């Protein structure tokens, strides 16, 4: 158990809908990262927050947004969903922001868009 929790575990929705994925980092970790794992794109970095502020952005679509709240949990919002958004979404956390730090991954949320 990494100490990172993600809800829900599974999500099934329809095209055009909006969903929210939730992540609680390990106790004491200030950084939260979101990754998408799909069969065709592999594991891709989406976005990072550090202590409530956006820190880095990767291949995140404009239809997707995220935030980190004062209690450090984070939410990833996916809107106008398309079939291609079906994937496993991972949250990870780390203490700080240096490149050498270990990131601890949650179990993921599996999203299926029908």
Partner 1 sequence: GNSVTQMEGPVTLSEEAFLTINCTYTATGYPSLFWYVQYPGEGLQLLLKATKADDKGSNKGFEATYRKETTSFHLEKGSVQVSDSAVYFCALSEAGANNLFFGTGTRLTVIP
Among 29, 66, 85, 104, binds partner 1 (CB under 8 A): 104
Q: Quote the DSSP letter at residue 84.
A: G
**Rounded to whole angstroms, what are the CA distances from 97 to 23, 28, 72, 102, 103?**
18, 13, 15, 10, 10
Q: Does residue 4 bind partner 1 (CB under 8 A)?
A: yes
Instruction: Identify the CA nearest to 12 among candidates 106, 81, 105, 74.
Output: 81
Cis peptide before 47 (omega within 30 of 0): no
Among 26, 45, 65, 75, binds partner 1 (CB under 8 A): 45
Which residues have CB under 8 Å from 98's CB, separation 6+? none
Q: Does residue 52 bind partner 1 (CB under 8 A)?
A: no
Q: Does residue 33 bind partner 1 (CB under 8 A)?
A: yes
Site string for partner 1, 59-78 (x = CB under 8 A): --------------------
CB closer to partner 1 out of 15 and 107: 107
Binding site for partner 1 (CB under 8 A): 2, 4, 31, 33, 35, 42-45, 48, 50, 55-56, 58, 90, 92, 94, 97-108
């Amino acid at each position: 158990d990494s100490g990172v929790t993600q809800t829900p575990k599974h999500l099934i929705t329809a095209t055009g809908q909006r969903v929210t994925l939730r992540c609680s980092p390990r106790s004491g970790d200030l950084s939260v990262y979101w990754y998408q794992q799909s069969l065709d794109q592999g594991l891709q970095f989406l976005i990072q927050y550090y202590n409530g502020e956006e820190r880095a952005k990767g291949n995140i679509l404009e239809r997707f947004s995220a935030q980190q709240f004062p209690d450090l949990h984070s939410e990833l919002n996916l809107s106008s969903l398309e079939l291609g958004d079906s994937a496993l979404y991972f949250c990870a956390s780390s203490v700080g922001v240096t490149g050498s730090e270990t990131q601890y991954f949650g179990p993921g949320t599996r999203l299926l868009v029908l």
